[in-house]
């Protein structure tokens, strides 16, 4: 497939004049902005690249966004073929299909940074930057337990059935174990506002008493809140979302009792990965290893530090 030069890579290649000998090129390959979190990730990737190009004239960046794994493989192959990248920062769409292509890039001698989703063969990446999914569930569960010291009945909305979702839910369940919190319903809202609205409506019809909701994601929290409001129910004390959407962080900041807290899973982790990779190329600082970004509890006290009004997410 190497002859298939994508329009993006081609136009970048043509637009940039012959590069000086010591210029280093970093390729960044990420999924396209197909949902809120990915939109935020695209925003932070672009922002990090703009900043670094300013700060380090000797660095050059190629950014490609892919709407499916196949397109992402093409992007990466094009980066190697036409730009001869020195480093690759990749957030794999899926682990399996991307493992082989990234392995080939590694064989060409480039530095590999893998973000968020690991590859299926260990040891390919030089640097691994990721969020902490079990930790995300654990922090959420611990908050639930502390917010309901006398226990209570909660419903849980899950994401799209994936490993990410399973790890979060397992972390959550472990954290609330023995805390007298009863999960009376658990359904998939698919990280989607409309689906979670529907699921929450049905939870409300089914259960006369719900003390709190773990929506596990801010998009789903939006749907859940609308359903509660429409049903006019006042038994639900609060809704805990997650991921740190700016509107939700704002509500935490303003002291909204329905949204008392949030748990981060920052899309800006892509910026961390790009920045560290750049530092590795321009300096002697060692940067290989694993960098796990913890999920932090956002409360009214610290919400301001997690509020990015310019981000789309």
Binding range to other proteins, per CB under 8 A, among 97-105, 120-128, 226-234, 299-307: 226-234
Distance spanning both ends of the chain, measured CA to CA: 35
Structure tokens at 118: 């690991």
The 236-275 contact track toward other proteins, x by CB under 8 A, reads -----------x----------------------------
Residues 262, 244: contact at Cβ < 8 Å? yes
Question: Looking at beta carbons only, is 203 or 214 nearer to other proteins?
Answer: 203
Contacting other proteins within 146-175 (CB under 8 A): 158, 161
Whole-number minimum distance, CB 208 to other proteins, in Å? 9
Q: Which residues contact 21 (CB under 8 A, 6 or more apart)?
A: none
Instruction: State which of positions 82-101 bind other proteins (CB under 8 A).
Output: none
Q: Are strands 24-31 and 87-90 parallel, antiparallel or unpaired?
A: parallel
Q: Judged by CB under 8 A, does residue 312 bind other proteins?
A: yes
116: phi > 0 → left, psi -120 to 50 → alpha, else beta; which?
left
**Cβ nearer to other proteins, comparing 8 with 231:** 231
**Dist CA 64 CA 42 (whole Å):** 10
User: By the 8 A CB rule, do 173 and 200 touch?
Assistant: no
What is residue 63's three-state secondary structure?
strand
Q: How far apart are alpha carbons 278 and 275 in whole angstroms?
A: 5
- Site residues for other proteins, 182-221, by CB under 8 A, read 186-188, 192-194, 197-199, 201-203, 205-206, 219
- We find the least distance from the C-beta atom of residue 150 to other proteins, in angstroms, to be 26
Which lies closer to other proteins via its Cβ, residue 110 or residue 210? 210
Catalog residues that contact other proteins under the rule CB under 8 A: 32-36, 38-40, 42-43, 158, 161, 186-188, 192-194, 197-199, 201-203, 205-206, 219, 222-223, 226, 230-231, 247, 312-313
């Amino acid at each position: 497939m190497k002859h298939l030069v994508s329009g993006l890579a081609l136009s970048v290649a043509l637009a940039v004049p012959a590069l000086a000998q010591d210029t280093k090129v970093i390729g960044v390959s990420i999924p396209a902005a197909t949902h809120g979190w990915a939109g935020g990730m695209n925003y932070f990737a672009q922002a990090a690249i703009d900043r670094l190009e300013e700060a380090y004239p000797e660095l050059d960046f190629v950014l490609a966004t892919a709407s499916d794994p196949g397109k992402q493989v093409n992007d990466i192959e094009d980066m190697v073929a036409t730009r001869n990248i020195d480093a690759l920062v990749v957030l794999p769409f899926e682990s399996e299909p991307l493992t082989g292509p990234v392995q080939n890039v590694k064989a060409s001698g480039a530095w590999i940074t893998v973000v968020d989703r690991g590859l299926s063969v260990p040891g390919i990446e030089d640097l691994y930057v990721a969020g902490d999914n079990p930790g995300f569930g654990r922090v959420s569960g611990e908050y639930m337990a502390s917010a309901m010291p006398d226990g209570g009945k909660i419903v849980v909305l899950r994401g799209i059935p994936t490993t990410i979702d399973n790890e979060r839910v397992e972390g959550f369940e472990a954290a609330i174990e023995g805390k007298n919190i009863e999960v009376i319903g658990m359904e998939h809202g698919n990280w989607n506002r409309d689906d979670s609205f529907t699921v929450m409506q049905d939870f409300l019809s089914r259960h006369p008493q719900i003390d709190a909701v773990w929506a596990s994601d801010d998009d789903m929290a939006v749907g859940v809140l609308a359903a509660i409001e429409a049903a006019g129910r006042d038994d639900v004390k609060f809704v805990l979302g997650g991921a740190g959407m700016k509107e939700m962080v704002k509500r935490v900041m303003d002291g909204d009792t329905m949204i008392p807290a949030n748990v981060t899973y920052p899309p800006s982790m892509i910026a961390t990965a790009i920045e560290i990779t750049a530092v590795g190329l321009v300096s002697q600082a060692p940067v290989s290893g694993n960098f796990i970004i913890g999920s932090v509890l956002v409360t009214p006290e610290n919400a301001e530090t997690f509020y990015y009004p310019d981000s789309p997410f």
